[in-house]
């Protein structure tokens, strides 16, 4: 399995290449050239732009985001206990030599390096129109901000790298910037991106949902201001409203199930930014094979991201069958799951079911990076914090009603918890839960109050959650390479 994942790690999304003109299809791979002889024409810079987008298809965005956001939180268990790096996510026992921590750090900075290369070289391209040049710069700044946002959420302050292609140790071995400095840099990039991006491109939804637009920039700005240490909820509402009222015409689907239906149309009116895959090709999505049950994946090994009893209880507490059945599937299995079937092997075990087709490591299931329900609920969260309007009640009811549920009965003082519950039910298995709990200063209490009984040991899991565990450790490999880096507290 590991060999297959490594071979598939460098997939290139064909739909993104198609969004450029056809002449780019015959370009030699950018990795076969050096920066000195590659960037001579508009074609070269467009190909380099594709490589920046292509960093969205590394392991983190295919499945590690679920491990970080759902397995690390109260939404999921790890799965196979012999996968020690992932088991450490679940048990909150992550160490600086965890291989996945390093892989993700490296992948984010690879995307940033690619973005910086485009920004470094684009001014020298003579046959690129000024309009397209400005647009490319905006696209790249959005993507660079996207990667830095995931870095700062996971590791805290990280080095801000604005230039690439130097062997000067004084410029490569640099200390960490502060969290506030990283957020300021992200906001600067996103503000510039929003000003330079179109609402739509020519080419239809397959292009508009795959590329940076004003909608993606404003949606990410809403999320950034919510997660920012200042929690500027006025800014959250401002940018959420720009998305809601966008000329791009984002709208909630009338029902929840088509968002994740088999063979569904992911590039729908609710989608803002979507990772594109092509079923049955090397450009397919290998992530679903890691989560789906044997009846769908056609194999018999234990899967990752097992939905927790706490998550299932959350759905059941609201009688939320629509979203529960779309997001979780139950199946009897051949292995022992320490939370479900120890005493009764026939007891069905839940599986993450948000993506529904495995297709032998080549699924056509797309991945939502940004969708309207997320942004609407962020606005509701901001309104609850600011205690303005109806505290987000009408938005919560809108989301609940389309899932077949009645209006919330929460009082004004209970609206923040109602919003966070709705975010959990709506966005489970999309990698948001950890960030939601951290942002609202609820992560320590939530993890330490969990009552998760290991049926093999007959003991409750002690997550021993504390302030230090909110951030991941800086990878030991990076500290060895760059002695200017300081480790996060507690590691």
Residues 6+ apart with CB under 8 A from 384: 391, 392, 415, 416, 418, 419
For residue 408, pLDDT over 70 is answered with: yes
Residue pLDDT, tens place only, 353-386: 999 999 999 999 999 999 999 999 999 999 999 9
Q: Is 53 left (phi over 0), alpha (psi -120 to 50) or beta?
A: alpha
Extended beta strands in 50-143, E state: 76-77
Domain positions in the chain are 2-481
What's the rounded Cα separation, in Å, for the pair 300 and 297? 8
Architecture of domain 2-481: Alpha Horseshoe (1.25)
The backbone torsions φ and ψ at residue 367, rounded to the nearest 5 degrees and listed phi first, read: -125, 125
What is the torsional sign of CA 264, 269, 272, 278? positive
Q: Residue 328 in contact with residue 312, Cβ under 8 Å?
A: yes
This prediction's pTM: 0.92
- Judged against a pLDDT cut of 70, whether residue 35 lies above it is answered with no
Taking only the tens place, the pLDDT of each residue in 138-170 is 999 999 999 999 999 999 999 999 987 665 666
Per-residue pLDDT tens digits for 40-63: 899 999 999 999 999 999 999 999
For 302-324, write each residue's pLDDT tens digit: 999 999 999 999 999 999 999 99
Residue that has been written with the tokens 């998550």 in this structure: 311
Name the one residue in this structure whose structure tokens are 């230090």: 468
Calculate what percentage of the chain has a pLDDT beyond 90: 87
What was the pLDDT predicted at 172?
Answer: 74
Classified as helix, coil or strand, 124 is helix
């Amino acid at each position: 399995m590991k060999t297959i994942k490594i071979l598939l790690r460098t997939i290139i999304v064909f739909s993104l290449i198609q969004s450029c003109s056809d002449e780019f299809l015959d370009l030699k791979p950018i990795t076969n050239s050096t920066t000195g002889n590659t960037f001579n024409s508009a074609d070269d810079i467009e190909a380099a732009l594709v490589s920046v987008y292509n960093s969205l298809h590394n392991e983190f965005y295919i499945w590690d985001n679920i491990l970080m956001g759902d397995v690390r939180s109260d939404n999921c268990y790890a799965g196979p206990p012999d996968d020690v790096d992932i088991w450490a996510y679940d048990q909150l026992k992550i160490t600086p030599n965890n291989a996945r921590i390093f892989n993700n750090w490296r992948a984010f900075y690879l995307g940033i390096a690619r973005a910086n290369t485009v920004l470094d070289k684009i001014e020298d391209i003579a046959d690129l129109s000024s309009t397209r040049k400005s647009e490319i710069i905006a696209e790249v700044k959005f993507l660079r901000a996207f990667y830095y946002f995931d870095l700062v959420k996971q590791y805290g302050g990280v080095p801000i790298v604005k230039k690439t292609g130097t062997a000067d140790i004084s410029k490569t071995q640099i200390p960490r910037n502060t969290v506030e400095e990283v957020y300021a840099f992200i906001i600067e990039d996103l503000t510039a991106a929003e000003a330079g991006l179109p609402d739509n491109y020519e080419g239809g939804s397959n292009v508009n949902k795959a590329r940076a637009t004003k909608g993606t920039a404003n949606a990410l700005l809403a999320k950034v201001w919510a997660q920012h240490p200042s929690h500027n909820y006025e800014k959250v509402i401002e940018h959420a409203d720009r998305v809601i009222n966008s000329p791009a015409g984002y709208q909630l689907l009338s029902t929840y199930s088509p968002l994740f239906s088999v063979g569904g149309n992911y590039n729908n009116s609710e989608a803002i930014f979507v990772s594109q895959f092509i079923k049955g090709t090397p450009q397919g999505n290998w992530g679903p094979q890691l989560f789906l049950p044997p009846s769908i994946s056609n194999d018999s090994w234990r899967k990752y991201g097992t939905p927790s009893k706490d998550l299932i209880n959350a759905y059941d507490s609201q009688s939320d069958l629509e979203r529960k059945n779309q997001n979780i599937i139950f199946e009897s299995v051949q292995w022992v799951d320490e939370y479900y079937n120890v005493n009764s092997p026939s007891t069905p075990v839940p599986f993450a079911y948000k993506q529904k087709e495995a297709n032998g490591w080549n699924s056509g299931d797309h991945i939502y990076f940004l969708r309207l329900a997320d942004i609407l609920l962020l606005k509701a969260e901001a309104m609850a914090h600011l205690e303005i309007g109806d505290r987000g009640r009408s938005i919560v009811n809108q989301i609940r009603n389309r899932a077949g549920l009645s209006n919330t009965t929460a009082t004004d003082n209970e609206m923040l918890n109602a919003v966070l519950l709705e975010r959990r039910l709506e966005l489970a298995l999309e990698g948001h839960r950890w960030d939601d709990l951290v942002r609202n200063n609820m992560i320590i209490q939530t993890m330490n109050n969990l009552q998760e009984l290991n049926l093999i040991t007959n003991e409750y899991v002690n997550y021993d959650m504390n302030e230090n565990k909110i951030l991941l450790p800086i990878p030991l490999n990076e500290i060895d390479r760059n002695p200017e880096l300081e480790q996060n507290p507690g590691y």
